Structure 1
Amino acid sequence: MTFSDKRKKKKRTILLYAASEIDANMLYATNFHAPDPFIFIKTAQGKRVLVMSDLEIDRAKATSNAHSVLSLTRYTELAKKRLGRKSTHISDVISEVCRDLGIRSVTVPESFPLSVADRLRKHRIRVSSQPDPFFPERLFKTAMEIQEIRKAMRACEAGMQSAVDILRKSKIRKGLVEFQGKRLTAELLKRQINSIVFDLGYLPSRTIVAAGKHGCDPHDEGCGPIPAHSPIIVDIFPRSDKSGYYGDITRTFVKGKASDRVKKMFRAVFEGQKWALQSIRHGAKAKEIHRTILDLFDKRGFPTGEIEGRMQGFFHGTGHGLGLEIHEPPRIAINEIVLLKGMVVTVEPGLYYYPTGGVRIEDTVLVTKTGIKNLTRFPKYLEIA
């Protein structure tokens, strides 16, 4: 089934049981933030129903998108009475609600708790799972979602600018970078970035400032002193505290003078990303984009594979979907995915070699019928004097 096929909505009863603070499907379905698991049902007729605790019921009535908000306490008591028990499992409560709504069959995501599903089947409720994307419409961003991602990107860029400002004000002494008379560390840069991002209403998580050898691993968060004349990967991906939408940006800098090898790596990554940005459009094939960048890097003298006992070169995907999750479908990699208008994806080729370090450049873009709209504004340059 293609993504375009999945856009066609099927009549089914959807059941979710999760905490929307950590489950993107639940947040998407309800537009309601809660730290504890709660019940969401969308009937085949399209009616959205929440079952909430006494703690959350009034807030859910006021701020969620539900047509009906039911009392967890009431249905717990009904389940106890019907089953003749002093205590109940959440599956008993869900069964009671389904009984009341005339529901005998539900579709759940693959992340749905297995124990709950098994118990629901004992209540003679048919439970079937659907793989991601559970809500196919999440693949295609609305105008509101695009605006939220744009705002998240501005927060990313403010954090990135704060890192650049510190690097510009820093001095080089004995091969290391110093700021205000002290050694500049990855930890200090991350604190500065995270502080700026947080003040703008976004929640930073595992911000990457990976200098030198730390940059050889794409997800090494980085630590310790920042070496001069070495590549520094800065990857910022905060989440809006209000809307839940993410931004994502990566730039690579060198404080001082980059080596010829690092300059060649940067030019290759810049060229590969530029080609991808020009090639992405409605109908573009993910695998063709990724393979072309791999081939380009290989022709520039940057092979990919296991070298001296570790992965080196370009060994991650060219990009991924972005929205209520930092990594969500679609993936730009070796797969059968066709990019379609309305998708928001990152474009982030990179090169990683030990002990040189890494170079990665990442923009976030909206796929259109004829190309892209780049949601990223931050410039791309390597050296900071």
Structure 2
Amino acid sequence: MSTLPDTDAVMIIADSESDADMLYASGLFAPDAYTYIEQDGKKTVLMSDLEIDRARVQSKADEVLSLTVYTKRAEDRSGEKSQFMDAVAELLNEKKIHALLVPNRFPTGYADQLRERGFTVQAKADPFWNQRPMKTADEVAAIAEASRHTESAIRVAIAAISEATVKDGILQGPEGPLTSEYIKRLLHIHLLERDCIAQHTIVAGGIQGCDPHNAGSGPLPANAPIILDVFPKSMKTGYFADITRTVIKGPAPDVFKRMYDTVLEGQEQVFSRLKAGIDGKEIHEAVENLFTSRGYETGEKNGRMQGFFHGTGHGFGLEIHEPPRISKNTDLLQAGHIVTNEPGLYYPELGGGIRIEDNTFVTEEGYVNLTQIEKMFEV
């Protein structure tokens, strides 16, 4: 990453468990905050004694330095007990760094302490690493691996729904009524056994599926759509997958069959346009126009939104939502982007919603669909 004209180096202070920019830069999983500096292409991390040996083996850094050593140097210089930022300042001064470029989310307290010590601190809008939205071959492989595990888990969930019996309009499983919670537990255990962790998984049946981010709860209905939206993170690589399938147990009413087929058609609208150089807004509008032409209107009705009222897709990688977006806003797609393709229709008055989501790798000529799991509605 090149710095801006008025800066000498880039710096991040964060833990890499929660800060994707730090994980991307350092390649090291660490639950506590540490310091990353990049100057003229050289990568330096300042680590606690607890993590320093592991960082020397596992990180991408060119040099790994001891926080304890620089804390002592600062204390020797001042004759007083040093704070964390005194040790950071000692290292910056040693490297003759005076002006820093930091992420937009850089802690205000740290920025203030650096300025008090005479440093210039400038924040950069996202994406902090300009190259991060374009995925390398290794990143694509990591996402594909997470996708295979996600697909395997979804198949387990669909099998449980398929094997359920029906009583009084409610699916019945081995423990009584088949619930969203039971299916989520199946998904999560399956993924944990494959070193993936899933949070906020959506198993939303019937009218619950009309709120796209309703995680779902309680017994699952028969003859109504069940949305399975699963987006785990690999604990080995830090990369996400993000796949959605909608299924129905029992004969599907014609109203839902038609809605499902229309959403599938919406996905094809995306696939037919997806390639480097196209504006995501153009793709989104094509899906909107298709849905409207099929009689599916979008807007508020009886106090709730209905129709197609979210974006068509988004980037993801080390975070579940990254640039670019396929939405109402202009955003040019580039070769190397990985984006979801996830149109949906939601009608509370009909009693359910449909969403189907695949993951695609954008190329100059078109795309590669990274999602392999079959699309079936009635199970």
TM-score in terms of structure 2 length: 0.96
Aligned to 1:61: 56
CA contact (8 A) 2:223 2:249 kept: yes
Is 360-369 or 300-309 further displaced after alignment?
A: 300-309
Q: Residues of 1 paired with 2:3 and 2:197: CA distance?
A: 33
Change (3 A) 1:56 1:181: closer
Counterpart of 2:105 (choices 101, 107, 111) is 111
Aligned to 1:4: none
Cα shift at 1:277: 1.1
Q: Residues of 2 paired with 1:84 and 1:360: CA distance?
A: 63
Aligned to 2:70: 75
Aligned to 1:265: 259
Q: Residues of 1 paired with 2:104 and 2:266: CA distance?
A: 35
Aligned to 1:289: 283
CA RMSD after TM alignment: 1.4
Cα shift at 1:66: 0.8
Cα shift at 1:276: 0.3
Matches within 5 A, 1:1-20: 12-20=8-16
For residues 163-218 of structure 1, what are the alpha-carbon distances to aligned partners after superposition, in whole Å with 9 as ceiling and x for unaligned?
11111211111111011261100000000011111111111111110001110111
Amino acid at match of 1:32: L
Counterpart of 1:308 (choices 302, 305, 321) is 302
Aligned to 2:363: 368
> Does residue 202 of the first structure (1) align with residue 231 of the second (2)?
no
Q: Residues of 1 paired with 2:313 and 2:74: CA distance?
A: 47
Amino acid at match of 2:310: H
> Does residue 343 of the first structure (1) align with residue 343 of the second (2)?
no
For residues 64-114 of structure 1, what are the alpha-carbon distances to aligned partners after superposition, in whole Å with 9 as ceiling and x for unaligned?
1111111111111222333443241x3222211101111001100011000
Counterpart of 1:251 (choices 245, 254, 270) is 245
Q: Residues of 2 paired with 1:268 and 1:327: CA distance?
A: 25
Aligned to 1:51: 46
Is 333-342 or 16-25 further displaced after alignment?
A: 333-342
Q: Tell me the SS of whatever aligns to 2:91.
A: helix
Q: Give the gaps of 5 or more residues in structure 1.
A: 1-6
Matches within 5 A, 1:156-305: 156-180=150-174, 182-305=176-299
Aligned to 1:136: 130
For residues 294-338 of structure 1, what are the alpha-carbon distances to aligned partners after superposition, in whole Å with 9 as ceiling and x for unaligned?
111111111112111122211111011011111101111112211
TM-score in terms of structure 1 length: 0.95
CA contact (8 A) 2:314 2:326 kept: yes
For residues 253-284 of structure 1, what are the alpha-carbon distances to aligned partners after superposition, in whole Å with 9 as ceiling and x for unaligned?
01112222211211111100111012100111
Aligned to 2:81: 86
Q: Tell me the SS of whatever aligns to 2:132.
A: helix
Q: Tell me the SS of whatever aligns to 1:155.
A: helix
Q: Residues of 2 paired with 1:336 and 1:298: CA distance?
A: 21
Q: Residues of 1 paired with 2:273 and 2:243: CA distance?
A: 20
Change (3 A) 1:181 1:188: closer
Q: Residues of 2 paired with 1:335 and 1:8: CA distance?
A: 28
Q: Residues of 1 paired with 2:346 and 2:306: CA distance?
A: 5
Q: Residues of 2 paired with 1:383 and 1:47: CA distance?
A: 55
CA contact (8 A) 2:188 2:198 kept: yes
Question: Identity over the aligned pairs, expressed in percent?
Answer: 45
Matched residues, number? 376
Amino acid at match of 1:61: R
Change (3 A) 1:331 1:297: same
Is 285-294 or 10-19 further displaced after alignment?
A: 10-19
Q: Residues of 1 paired with 2:2 and 2:283: CA distance?
A: 27
Q: Give the gaps of 5 or more residues in structure 2.
A: none
CA contact (8 A) 2:3 2:10 kept: no
Aligned to 2:91: 97
Q: Residues of 2 paired with 1:81 and 1:121: CA distance?
A: 22
Aligned to 1:31: 27
Counterpart of 1:381 (choices 364, 376, 379) is 376
Amino acid at match of 2:315: G
CA contact (8 A) 2:203 2:227 kept: yes
Change (3 A) 1:83 1:306: farther
CA contact (8 A) 2:4 2:101 kept: no
Counterpart of 1:318 (choices 303, 312, 318) is 312
